[in-house]
Structure 1
Amino acid sequence: MTLTELRYIVAVARERHFGRAAEACHVSQPTLSVAIKKLEEELDVKLFERGAAEVSVTPLGADIVRQAQSVLEQASAIKDIAKRGKDPLAGALRLGIIYTIGPYLLPELVKRVIEDYPQMPLMLQENFTVKLLEMLRTGELDCAILAEPFPDTGLALAPLYDEPFMIAAPCNHAFAGRAQITAEELKSETMLLLGAGHCFRDQVLEVCPEFSRFSSDAEGIRKSFEGSSLETIKHMVASGMGVTVVPTLSVPKEPQPHLRFIPFAAPVPTRRVVLAWRRTFTRFEAIAALRNAVHACSLDGVTRLNT
């Protein structure tokens, strides 16, 4: 049994496909298939059920894959310990970040990490919360910047900042000249929402729960629109198609000719942004350095959290 074989079975369990797993491991499919068959023969167990469209993990195989993930993580920790002896920050840090934070935090964050910690390059992955949590669990990521709440996965968490929400409206909308808007006033508006899978969509629906009933019927076409990104939705708001709710960091610093951003009246809805990592991750100094770099960013309009 080798670490390479363990990497192969973890990849197949993740991808549910031998071809994609081989591609992820940078080997040919025959090489990967032969290695897994050899491991199955050595263990005298069947790890995978080979179907026409998808590979599934057997119940016993699932237990072995989980143990393989742990072994690979511990093997990686040995290298990390050796590196820390020379420079605690040496080596790339694999960072995941959700779509509604990445475009607004990463440009300044990456620049600060390059300036302050050049020996710790960031390897970035933007994705949905559920996918980033899975990648953390399987060791594909070292840490991730997420918005609470999300399922309790036993991860270590460090709060970064609390971010208020704001309302975006066309410049000719009745809201445009207002100093504040209540959540109650949004009920009569056409609301533009992010599509399913975005945690920010769920957070907006907590503020305006009445719009959740439109997501699966014909009335929803008139009352709400689901977009793929905050920037797409902001362009649609600017064209007069409705209003939306956005996180504060997504608000441009310069005035926009066709958009107005209006604060909520109290109680102001907010989201808590946190840094998450596996409790077994050994590069504590890298986590601390990343958190310091986030706090060194301008972060206009948010409340930094140092506890």
Structure 2
Amino acid sequence: MTLTELKYIVAVAREKHFGKAAEACFVSQPTLSVAIKKLEEELDLKLFERSANEVTVTPLGDEIVRQAQSVLEQAANIKEIAKRGKDPLAGPLKLGVIYTIAPYLLPDLVRQAIARTPQMPLMLQENFTVKLLESVRTGELDCAIMAEPFPDAGLAIAPLYDEPFVAVVPTSHPLATQDHITSAQLKSETMLLLGNGHCFRDHVLEVCPEFARFSSDAEGIRRSFEGSSLETIKHMVAAGMGVTLVPRLGVPSEALERKGKRRRADEPYVKYLPFDGDPPTRRVVLAWRRSFTRYEAIAALRNAIYACELPGVKRLS
């Protein structure tokens, strides 16, 4: 057997489709299929069950795929060890970031990384938490920036910062006359939420459990609408469709500087309201495989994150 054959079976197990796996490996489907058939004949067992709609991994095949992933990772580590001998930070770092962090952290983080470690470019991927966890576990990504809580995937975790939430209301809304807001005041409002799959949606539901009822006659939140991104939802708030919550880094720097001041004609049509007292927060962390050998790269990334401005958040050591 060869490392190439192992790479192919890992790809098929991940994609559950021979054609998509071939595309991911940059080879033709016949080339990939022949190689897998050859490996199955060598091992004298069937790795995959093929049907018209989907490819599934056999129970024994699943164990072999996991071992193949480990072998591929160890082989990659040999190259990394060689690189580290010349420059511990040489080569790209594959970083995943969830959708509700990426737009607000990455602009500053990329600038810091370029200035500090130009020899280690960041290969970036935005995705849902579940997808990022799987990609880190399988080695497609080296590490990921996510918000707790998430399923235990056996990864190493380093806390980065605690980030409070801020409410967003239309400037024409009665609540816009206030400088702060409480969770109780949101219970009678129309709440705009992210769609299923976004962990920030779950964080919002923790702040106001009434959102989960989704019933027009339920006590508490009357109804809710869903958006694909926080920025899209902000536009919906500006249009007067409801209110929402955003993480503190999603608040424009000038938005909280005009407390009590009259809105100018050229200013946005939303107002950001901090929570009164202890605000609801989320913990943002960096996660990576325990077997990942580029310790210096992880440390450099954390230093670059801490060098970012991160207004309004509590940095964690």
Q: What pairs up with 1:66-105 in 2 under 5 angstroms?
A: 66-105=66-105
- Asked if the contact 2:188/2:222 (under 8 Å) is kept, the reply is no
- Asked if the contact 2:49/2:56 (under 8 Å) is kept, the reply is yes
Residue in 2 that maps onto 1:271:
282
Residue in 1 that maps onto 2:259:
none
Aligned-partner SS, 1:188: coil
Q: Tell me how far apart the structure 2 counterparts of residues 293 and 90 of structure 1 sit (CA, whole Å).
A: 16
Aligned-partner SS, 2:175: coil
Residue in 2 that maps onto 1:43:
43
Cα RMSD, aligned residues only? 1.3
Aligned-partner SS, 1:157: strand
Q: Go from structure 1 to structure 2 and tell me whether the alpha carbon gap of 1:218 and 1:39 turns closer, same or farther (over 3 Å shift).
A: farther
Displacement, 1:223?
Answer: 1.1
- Asked if the contact 2:167/2:243 (under 8 Å) is kept, the reply is yes
- Asked if the contact 2:191/2:223 (under 8 Å) is kept, the reply is yes
Q: What pairs up with 1:77-226 in 2 under 5 angstroms?
A: 77-214=77-214, 223-226=223-226
Q: Tell me how far apart the structure 2 counterparts of residues 92 and 249 of structure 1 sit (CA, whole Å).
A: 26
Displacement, 1:267?
Answer: 2.6
Give the AA of the match of 1:14.
R
Displacement, 1:123?
Answer: 0.4
Give the AA of the match of 1:121.
P
Mean CA deviation greater in 35-44 or 180-189: 180-189
Q: Tell me how far apart the structure 2 counterparts of residues 172 and 147 of structure 1 sit (CA, whole Å).
A: 32
What are the ranges of 5 or more consecutive residues in structure 2 without an aligned counterpart? 256-266
1:304 and 2:308 aligned: no
Displacement, 1:218?
Answer: 6.7
Runs of 4+ in 1 over 2 A off after TM superposition: 217-222, 254-257
1:280 and 2:291 aligned: yes
Q: Tell me how far apart the structure 2 counterparts of residues 64 and 218 of structure 1 sit (CA, whole Å).
A: 51
1:257 and 2:268 aligned: yes
Q: Tell me how far apart the structure 1 counterparts of residues 175 and 253 of structure 2 sit (CA, whole Å).
A: 20
Displacement, 1:302?
Answer: 0.5
Q: Aligned residues, how many?
A: 304
Residue in 2 that maps onto 1:7:
7
Q: Tell me how far apart the structure 2 counterparts of residues 209 and 268 of structure 1 sit (CA, whole Å).
A: 16
Spell out, residue by residue over 1:193-248, the C-alpha distance to the aligned partner (whole angstroms, 9 max, x if none).
Answer: 0000000000000001011010xx67699610011100010000011011001100
TM-score (norm 1): 0.97
Spell out, residue by residue over 1:71-119, the C-alpha distance to the aligned partner (whole angstroms, 9 max, x if none).
Answer: 0011111111111111000000000000000000001101111111010
Q: Tell me how far apart the structure 2 counterparts of residues 262 and 254 of structure 1 sit (CA, whole Å).
A: 13
Spell out, residue by residue over 1:116-150, the C-alpha distance to the aligned partner (whole angstroms, 9 max, x if none).
Answer: 10100000000000000010111100000000000
Q: Tell me how far apart the structure 2 counterparts of residues 77 and 218 of structure 1 sit (CA, whole Å).
A: 55
Displacement, 1:55?
Answer: 0.4
1:294 and 2:305 aligned: yes
Aligned-partner SS, 1:124: strand
What are the ranges of 5 or more consecutive residues in structure 1 without an aligned counterpart? none
Displacement, 1:257?
Answer: 2.3
- Asked if the contact 2:164/2:280 (under 8 Å) is kept, the reply is yes
Give the AA of the match of 1:257.
P
Aligned-partner SS, 1:176: helix
